[in-house]
Structure 1
Amino acid sequence: MHPAASTSELRFALALAALALLAACGPSPDRVEQLHVFGTLAELRLRDAPPGQAQASLAEIAALLNQREREWHAWQDSDLTRINAAFARGEAVEAPDSVVALLRRSQPLSEASDGLFDPAIGGLVGAWGFHTSSFPIMTPVPSDSQLQAWREQRPRITEVRVDGRMLSTPNPRTQLDFDAVAEGAAAEEVLAILRRHGIRHALVNLGGDVVALAPAGAAPWQVSLRDPFGGVLGSVALGDAEALFTSGNYNKFRQSAAGARQPHILDPRTARPARGTAAVVVLHADPVLADAAASALFVAGPSGFEAMARRLGLGCALMVTDENELLVTMAMKARLTLLRDPVPLGPPLDLGPACVAGPAR
């Protein structure tokens, strides 16, 4: 998330003005609203929605997303930066309900991913320079001694204690950064708002991560996949209550003077940017799981793709390696239309016919 909190009220006012203009235009198959939230462009596409219901739902969504920016921002003034400052002082701290909920969702997912997804590594993210809105980053990298010190005292989200709304941790290096799961959690709330207002046919795109609603009998939404090597890789058919989440090396990255690219997704085991992966796509019914899983698979890399997908109960996932090789599950391949063919890194993996199972218990 890279919002500018000082402009959130202006964004909200502009959103309402645009919404009023949409409602005045009369009936149309799709109503499209765009908002700048979480440092990216969110687009909501409502199909065959009555104007009153569309206006009410979109206004509520705009207010919600701006509130989540103020609560979840990892480096500008927010509830999360206040919590992180208390952790650094060794103090317990009260958190808003939304942060407590994110923490409770993240802890079992981190455990299921063997710590490859871990929102407690915000200090490491900052040390690598990724707490910024300006990319690519070309500042000096952390020293080997700094990274070694971090590894020796590595914080873990599973160590954070929750007592009602009070949070505490035994490790002052714990710095929460929910970037790898915030859009999934926000998407879940957006779908709940749409359903509450009677909206049954919609596509919600939060910076390239997509969730869908579709009534029975409706054609699936066709969602494009960005190619990490440029252009469009292909498309996936998305049905009702399905989420498509991605992680890639193409938006937020470091770049050396020689042009070498390092992704913003960090491997907690090495304290360095993950290697070997160019992009990951996960399709699932749970947006929070899909979001976290995309990051965990990216860190796992080509050699760990199958094992991590099995750990997380993923039936539908794919990876494009930084050597332009493709790893894909059978269930994802059945939903996928490719516009180009990366080199297959083995046959499609049979991880089950469903896309929605979730982590093994």
Structure 2
Amino acid sequence: MIACAQREKENDVPLTTANYDHEIVVDGLNIPWGMTFLPNGDLLVTEKTGELIRFDGQKKAMITGVPQVYVRGQGGLLDIALHPDYKNNGWLYLTYASDDGEEKGGHTALMRAKLENNTLVEKEVLYKASPNTTKGQHFGSRIVFDNKGYLYFSIGERGARDVNPQDITRDGGKIYRLNDDGSIPKDNPFYDQADAKKAIYSYGHRNPQGMDKHPESGKIWLHEHGPRGGDEINIVEKGENYGWPVITYGINYSGTEITDQTSKPGMQQPIYYWIPSIAPSGMTFVTSSKYPQLQGNLLVGSLKFEYLEHVVLKGQQVTKREKLLEGIGRVRSVIQGPDGFVYVGVEGTGIVKLIPKK
């Protein structure tokens, strides 16, 4: 229990508060899990319960043709992203919990579709994890394209920490990389390994619910939920093992120890870990000149403590943390819009715009 007590201490980067304003852009939303802007400025928002909403600046419209969603626990309609060449090809991508398959329950799926007159058409399921389970934990899931056009998406370990994350023959606890049409790149790290899930790009993850591309390096960064303590920021590298649950800075929710190891050869260390856990969801790099104090850094939503966290970076080192929008509610998603403003999805409120301090 001594080790557990030590891990319950605060991490070594203090948390301060900065004053920012906000205005509600889209109201009346329950759990706005993901969002993205269309080229014409309309905003698409996923509701965890399975609705896809389009907001044109004045009114909301429901998108029809959304896939059937398995809503259980943390599962539902999750992230949404546009193809980098959306203006020409019209493809958008969704992750969601799906009950397709022979087993009871559900697992995370990735679909692409096109939007025509507020209806999803030409729908194609590009990946469906298996086997289904009735557990309600850890579906992931975020979607990011890299500079070469590869699609990355995350799936949590589905509450099966001792089975899925360290086994590359099983789905769950992984970051996956696909071509934009769902085919698997032949240079994926386990493509030629017998019995492996060939779409896996990295493994040993717990439940990644924030992911973005670094604006300079092009690397894919993510954060993931730890248990009690030990939420992590990681940089995704080809074929690497991120350790869960063999190594962790967290402990069980009951206060008992998961492992006495926080590092091990062949397993990646996080860029940063939060103690106590903030329950992170959503993540974006700020590049906009509208926020000089935030530019070049990360914004991360906190579900547990109900604020937006400004994570100040120097290279790959976290040097400072600030609470923005303190007390606003459970922050589920955050993106930087094409207009340079930051938009934040708040449970029970809707989408708010972050207003720079004067």
- Does 1 or 2 have the higher relative contact order (CA < 8 Å, sep 6+)? 2
Looking at secondary structure, tell me which structure has more helix per residue. 1
Looking at secondary structure, tell me which structure has more strand per residue. 2
TM-score, length-normalised on structure 1? Answer: 0.30
Bigger Rg over Cα: 1
TM-score, length-normalised on structure 2? Answer: 0.30
